[in-house]
Amino acid sequence: MGYLILVGSAVVVVILSSIFMDLSKGNLTYRAWIPFDYSTPIAFTFVYTNQMIGMSCSGLVNVACESLVCGFLLHICCQFEILEYRLKNINQNQNILCDCINHHNYIVKLVSLNNFLFLEFEIREIQSISFITIFLYSFIKIKKYSKLLLANKYM
């Protein structure tokens, strides 16, 4: 909940600062290529609102993904504690051993699923970092400004 409040307050600060700094000058908060002329007040308001909603949704998606990962890890830890409790009390009920084995297999499947999800997140993170690194390297190597503007167009 604290992370949501932190991200939510950052989103509010960005929105308020963009209202006081960019909106009065007629500038968008984020540079973007828009396929139409947004100099009219209605079009500018539409594009500006679209950017602010997109930024807010990005913050919420970030909180959701981070919470999902932490929730999975917490669920696995709780399952291990339940299994530990059952195994400590196995002397009282001898028929519970089969249930403990099934519960252990369930935890192993849950951990393997979690590892697969983490692998997906790591692959996407590596792809993003690689793209940024390659772009910055090519950005440094460009000597003429015309090529620089052409490269910036595709970002």
Q: What's residue 53's pLDDT?
A: 93
Q: How many CB atoms lie within 10 A of CB 112?
A: 10
Tell me the average pLDDT across 111-137. 80
DSSP category for residue 90: T
At 82, phi and psi to the nearest 5?
-65, -45
Give the model confidence (pLDDT) of 26-63 as tens digits: 888 888 788 888 888 898 889 999 989 998 998 888 88
Q: How many of the other CB atoms lie within 10 Å of CB of 48?
A: 20
Query: How far apart are the C-alpha atoms of 44 and 50, rounded to whole Å?
Result: 10
**Domain spans in the chain, listed from the N-terminal domain onward:** 2-153
pLDDT higher than 80, residue 83: yes
**In terms of pLDDT, which residue wins out, 87 or 22?**
87
| 33 vs 47: CA distance, rounded Å | 11
Q: Is the pTM of this model over 0.85?
A: no
**What average pLDDT does the structure give for the chain?**
81
